[in-house]
Amino acid sequence: MKNRFIIFLIGLFLFCLPLQTAAAEGSIPSFPALAYGDVTINQQPAAAGIEVTAKVDGKVVGNILISEPGKYGGAGTKSKLLITGDGFSGKNVEFYLTGKQGSIALNQVKAKEELYWGAGEVKKIDFNVTVEEPVQNPPTTGGTGGGAVQPAPGNNQDTIVDGIAEDLVSVDNQNGKANVSFLESKDLGLEKEQVLTVKMTEDVEELNTQLSLGMLNSMKANDNTLQIETNRATYSLPVSKLDIDNILDQFGAGTDPNKIQMNVKITEPSESDIQVLEQVATEHEVTLLVKPISFTIQAKVNNQSFEVKDFNGYVERMIKLSKDVDASKVTTAVVISPDGTMSHVPTKIIEKNGEYFVVINSRTNSFYTVIHNEIGFQDVENHWSKDYINSMASKLIINGVDENHFEPNRSITRAEFAAIINRALGLKYEETDQSFTDVPETKWYYEPVLTSYKYGLIKGYQEGTFRPNDSITREQAMAIIAQAMKLTELKVTMDEKTAANVVGKFTDYQSIGDWATQSVAITVKNGVVDGFADNSLKPKNQITRAEAAKMIHNTLVSTDLITK
C-alpha cells in the first residue's frame, strides 16, 4: 500500500488522533495557569524538540518545546507551559504532541484532555503516550494508501508533513480562494510512488497548489502523484504525465526549474462562465447535471506564463454528484473548449460511502461538466446493435446520418473511423508537421486523420497516402483499436505464438494479414471483437457502422474508461 502525505486545510477545525480517553468535563475560567511535566512515548522518554501544545476548541492557548528528553517545563516560570485565554467556561484543555520520536511521526497527536485546575495554579501533568508505527490514516477520496494524517494548523502557519520537514508549506485562505505553497528551499522527501495530497474540506471557489517545477521534476523521477481535493472535485496528477522538458522550453535555455512556479488549480466557474456553458448545453440539446468545474496548470516565471493543456497520458479527475442528482441519469462527462464545442471524455460512475462520483480520464485540461443526453434512432429500434449505437451516440462519440437515422449496415470509411476513435478516447487535434498527400487541409477529415496519426493509432501507405475515403476492413479497424488500447496504458503485448493460438479458433484465420495478426488477437483476447455464428472472423470484410459502434463501446469498457 502506498504511503500518503496529507495536508488537511480545515479552517477552524482540527482533526486529531485520540490516544487516551478524556477526563470528565469541568469548568475552565478565563485565567492563566501553568503546567509542566514528563512525556513518555511507547514507554520511552520523549525526544527533545517535541512541541507540547494546549488547545481549547482547536485554538492554541499555549505551547512549549521539550528541552530535554522526557521533560517539558521546569522549575522556572518561563519554562512552564503557560495556558491563557477567555471563554473557557465548561470546556476542556486538549494537549497535543508534535514532532518525531525515532521513526514515529507524531504530527499533532492528541495526548490527553485535562481539567483546568484553578487560576494561577501550577500543576504537573505526566503523559504516557502509545502510538502505532506507522499511524494509519482514514481513507480519503481518490487513490489508495496508508500513512499518517497530517492536519495543517490553519492560515499562514507552518506545517509538518509526516514528521519529515518543518516549515514545509504556507497556507492562505481568503475570500473563498485557498492557496497552498510548498516552499522552494524544502525537500519534500517523498518515497517512490508516494501520493502527496492537498485537501480542502471547506467550500472554496478555488484551490491553488503552488510548487516549483524543480520539485515536480524530483517527484517525476520518484514516480509520485500530486492530488488536490476540494469538497466537489479531485485532481490526481501522476507527475510522469507532465512534459517537463516542454515546459522548460517555453522559458528558454538555462531557465532554473526551481524558479518556475507551477500552479495546479481546481476552480469553480464565474456566473458569466456558467451562462456561456449553459448556452453551449442548450445548443447541443443536452442537460447539465453538475455545475462545470475547471482544472488547470500554469507555469510562471516573473511576468511570463505558460498554460499546460496536454499530458503524456490520461489524468484522472473526479466530480462528486450532489444528492439531488440521480446517478443513473449520467450519460457522460464532457469537456467544453474555449470555442464552445462540447466533446465526450471517458467517464465512469463509482459509489463511495453512499455518495456517487464521476471519474473522468482525459489527456487535456479545460472546463468539465456532466450531462444527461438520450438519443435513439428509428432505424436501429429492432437491430442487434441498438444499445451500442444509442449509447455511443448519446455520449457524443458517433453521429447519425440525420436526426432519426443511423444506417447501421452501411460501411464506414477510414477517415470516419479515425474521427470516431478520436472522439471515443477524447483526443484533441494539435498542429503537426505530418501530412498525407491525399489528406488536404481543406477536407473535414484533415484534423481527425492527423490526430490519429499523432497518437500512433493509424499509419499511411508506403506512397505517402492514407486513402481516407476507402471503406475500412475489420482487420484494419482491429489494428487501430489495438493501438488505442496501448494508448490507454493497458498491457496488451502478445507474442506471436500466443497470437496464433488466439486467432486459430476461427475457421478463416488464415485470411488474416500477417501484419494484423497480433492486433486482431489482442482485440479478441480483450473481448472487443468476437466472431460470427459460423465461427468465422471475416477480417477482409468491410466493417459496418453497427460493428464499429460495438467495437468502440467494447474498447472503452475493456480499458476501464467507461462504465459497462
Q: What is the pLDDT of residues 441-495, one digit of tens each?
A: 999 999 999 999 999 999 999 899 999 999 999 999 999 999 999 999 887 788 8
CB 149 within 8 A of CB 135: yes
Looking at 199-203, 353-357, 517-521, which range is the least confident one?
199-203
CA–CA separation, 158 vs 333, rounded Å?
Answer: 38
Residues β-bridged to residue 197: 6, 227
CA dist 454 → 144, 208, 389, 460 (Å): 33, 32, 27, 12
What would the grid cell of residue 315 be?
Answer: 489524468
Residue of 247, 235, 242, 423 whose CA lies nearest to 335? 423
Residue 283 φ/ψ, nearest 5 degrees:
-65, -30
Instruction: Find out whether 67 and 91 touch, Cβ atoms under 8 Å.
Output: no
Give me the DSSP letters along 400-469: -SSSS---TTSB-BHHHHHHHHHHHHT------S---TT--TTSTTHHHHHHHHHTTS----TTS---TT
Answer yes or no: is pLDDT of 26 > 70.
no
pTM, 2 dp: 0.71
494 residue type, one letter: M
DSSP string, 225-279: EEEEE-SSEEEEEEGGGS-HHHHHHHT-TT--GGGPEEEEEEEPPPHHHHHHHHH
What does the alpha-carbon distance between residue 391 and residue 422 come to, in Å, rounded to a whole number? 17
pLDDT of residue 206 exceeding 90, the answer is: yes
* 255 contacts 248 by C-beta, under 8 angstroms: yes
Residue 54 has pLDDT above 50, yes or no: yes
Q: What is the mean pLDDT of the chain?
A: 83
Predicted pLDDT at 307: 95
C-alpha to C-alpha distance for 95 and 104, rounded to whole angstroms: 18
- From CA 484, how far away is CA 115, in angstroms rounded? 65
Q: What is the pLDDT of residue 64?
A: 84
∠ CA 342-346-350, nearest 5°, is: 120
pLDDT number for residue 4: 47
Helix (H, G, I), strand (E, B) or coil at 310: strand
pLDDT-derived band at 110, boundaries 50, 70, 90: confident
Helix (H) or strand (E) holding 124: strand 122-124
Name the CA dihedral angle for 400, 405, 408, 411, rounded to a multiple of 10 degrees. Answer: -60
What digits encode the pLDDT tens for the residues 236-281?
Answer: 999 999 999 999 999 988 889 999 999 999 999 888 888 888 888 9
